[in-house]
C-alpha cells in the first residue's frame, strides 16, 4: 500500500507512467491518461501542458534545486561542499510520492527507447545545471564538470537505493541516501589513480 495520498497531479503521473510501460509512450494519449486516473481531460490540462510535460516537469525542478543549493553555499565552500548543498536541497524536496514513482519510472524507461533517451537527457541536464552553478561560483571549467558528474552519480545512486522496492525496512529520507552515496563517490574519486 502506498504511504502517500495522491492528489490529482500525482494520480495523472502514475497513470501516465503505467500506460507508457504497458503500451508505449507514443501510443498513449492524454484522454487515456485522464481516464486511467479517473479524471477528465480538462483536469489533465490544468496540471500539464501535454503528455511530454509529465516527464519534464520533475526534471526541471530537480535541476533548478541542485543549482540553487550550489548557489546558496557559503562563499568559501569548496566545489564538492557546494555540490553537497545542491544534493541536500534537491533530495529534501523529494517525497514518498517520488519514492513510489521510482519503480514505475524505471519500468517505463526499460520498456521504451523513447523514454530511455529522455532519461539520458535528464542526467545531461542535471550535470549542465550543476556545472553552470559551479562556474558562476568561479570554479574552473574542468573542476566544475568533474564535481557536477560526481553529483549526478550520487543523486542517481542514492535515489535508486532509496526507491528500491526490494528493500524491506522503512527507507527514511532520500537525503540520507544521497549523502552516503556522495561520500562514497568522493572517497572513490580521491583514491583514483
Interface residue list for a second copy (CB under 8 A): 78-81, 116-118, 120-121, 123-124, 140, 142-143, 145-147, 149-150, 153, 157, 184-185, 187-193
CB closer to a second copy, 15 vs 70: 70
- Please, what is the minimum distance in Å from the beta carbon of residue 67 to a second copy? 19
Q: Nearest approach, Cβ of 93 to a second copy (angstroms)?
A: 23
113 to 18, 59, 71, 73: CA distances (angstroms):
15, 18, 35, 37
How far from each other are the two terminal CA atoms of the chain, in whole angstroms? 46
User: What minimum distance in Å lies between the beta carbon of 51 and a second copy?
Assistant: 14
Measured from the CB atom, the residue of 116 and 136 that comes closer to a second copy is 116
Helix (H, G, I), strand (E, B) or coil at 138: coil
> What does the block give as the cell for 172?
527514511
How far is residue 52 CA from its own chain's centroid?
16
Question: Closer to a second copy at the Cβ: 55 or 175?
Answer: 55
Q: Answer left, alpha or beta for residue 94, where phi above 0 means left and psi between -120 and 50 means alpha.
A: beta
Give the Cα separation of 186 and 84 in Å (integer).
10
Q: Which is nearer to a second copy, 25 or 44 (CB)?
A: 25
* Alpha helix segments (H runs only) across the chain: 8-23, 30-37, 41-47, 53-72, 79-92, 96-111, 113-136, 141-163, 174-191
Q: In the bound complex, what is the minimum distance in angstroms from residue 2's beta carbon to a second copy?
A: 30
What residue has cell string 490540462? 45
Between residues 93 and 146, which has the closer beta carbon with respect to a second copy? 146
CB of 125 to a second copy, least distance (A): 9
* Closest CB to a second copy among residues 7, 26: 26
Min CB(187)–a second copy separation in Å: 8
Amino acid at each position: 500500500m502506498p504511504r502517500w495520498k495522491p492528489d490529482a497531479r500525482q494520480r495523472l503521473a502514475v497513470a501516465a507512467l503505467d500506460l507508457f510501460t504497458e503500451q508505449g509512450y507514443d501510443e498513449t494519449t492524454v484522454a487515456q491518461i485522464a481516464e486511467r486516473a479517473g479524471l477528465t481531460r480538462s483536469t489533465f490540462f490544468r496540471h500539464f501542458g501535454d503528455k511530454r510535460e509529465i516527464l519534464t516537469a520533475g526534471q526541471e525542478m530537480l535541476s533548478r534545486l541542485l543549482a540553487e543549493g550550489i548557489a546558496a553555499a557559503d562563499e568559501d565552500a569548496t566545489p564538492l561542499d557546494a555540490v553537497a548543498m545542491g544534493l541536500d536541497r534537491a533530495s529534501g524536496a523529494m517525497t514518498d510520492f517520488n519514492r513510489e514513482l521510482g519503480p514505475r519510472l524505471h519500468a517505463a524507461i526499460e520498456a521504451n527507447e523513447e523514454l530511455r533517451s529522455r532519461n539520458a537527457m535528464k542526467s545531461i541536464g542535471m550535470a549542465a545545471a550543476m556545472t553552470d552553478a559551479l562556474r558562476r561560483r568561479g570554479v574552473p571549467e574542468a573542476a566544475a564538470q568533474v564535481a557536477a558528474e560526481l553529483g549526478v552519480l550520487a543523486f542517481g545512486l542514492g535515489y535508486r537505493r532509496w526507491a528500491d522496492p526490494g528493500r524491506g525496512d522503512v527507507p527514511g529520507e532520500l537525503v540520507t541516501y544521497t549523502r552516503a552515496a556522495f561520500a562514497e563517490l568522493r572517497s572513490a574519486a580521491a583514491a583514483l589513480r
